[in-house]
Chain A
Amino acid sequence: MEIKVLTDILEANDAIAEQNRKKFDESNVVVFNLIGSPGAGKTSIIEVAIRKLKKKYRIGVIEGDIETSRDAERIAKLGVETLQINTQGGCHLDANMIASALTGFPYQSLDLLFIENVGNLVCPADYALGEDAKIVVISVPEGHDKPAKYPVIFRNASLMLLNKMDLVPYCDFDVEAMKQDALNVNPDLDVIGISCTTGEGAEEWAAWLTERIKRRKSRG
Chain B
Amino acid sequence: MHELSIASNLMDIVKQAVDGQNVSRVTTLRIVIGELSTVVPDCLAFAFEIMSKGTVAEGAHLDFEKKPLIGKCGDCGREFRIQDFVFHCPDCDSPRVEILSGKEFMLKSIECE
Contacts and interface: CB of A to CB of B under 8 A. Distances in A.
Interface of A: 1-13, 89-92, 94, 122-123, 125-126, 148, 151-152, 155, 183-188
A9 B9 contact: yes
B37 A126 contact: yes
Contacts of A12: 9, 12
A92 B10 CA distance: 18
A5 B37 CA distance: 19
B38 A125 contact: yes
B2 A6 contact: no
B2 A1 contact: no
B13 interface: yes
Size band of the B side of the interface?
A: 20 to 34
A7 B107 contact: yes
Nearest to B113: A1
B109 A122 contact: no
Interface of B: 1-2, 5-6, 9-10, 12-13, 17-18, 21, 23, 31, 36-39, 84-88, 95-97, 105-113
B97 to A, nearest CB: 8
B13 A9 contact: yes
Contacts of A155: 36, 85, 87
Contacts of B1: 89-91, 123
Contacts of B23: 1, 3
B10 A9 contact: yes
Contacts of B112: 1-3
B89 to A, nearest CB: 11
A185 B85 contact: yes
A9 B2 contact: no
A5 B85 contact: no
A187 B5 CA distance: 32
30 contacts: A1-B111, A1-B112, A2-B110, A3-B17, A3-B18, A3-B112, A5-B108, A5-B109, A6-B108, A7-B17, A7-B106, A7-B107, A9-B9, A10-B6, A12-B9, A12-B12, A90-B1, A91-B2, A92-B2, A94-B5, A122-B2, A123-B1, A126-B37, A126-B39, A148-B85, A152-B36, A155-B85, A184-B87, A185-B85, A186-B87
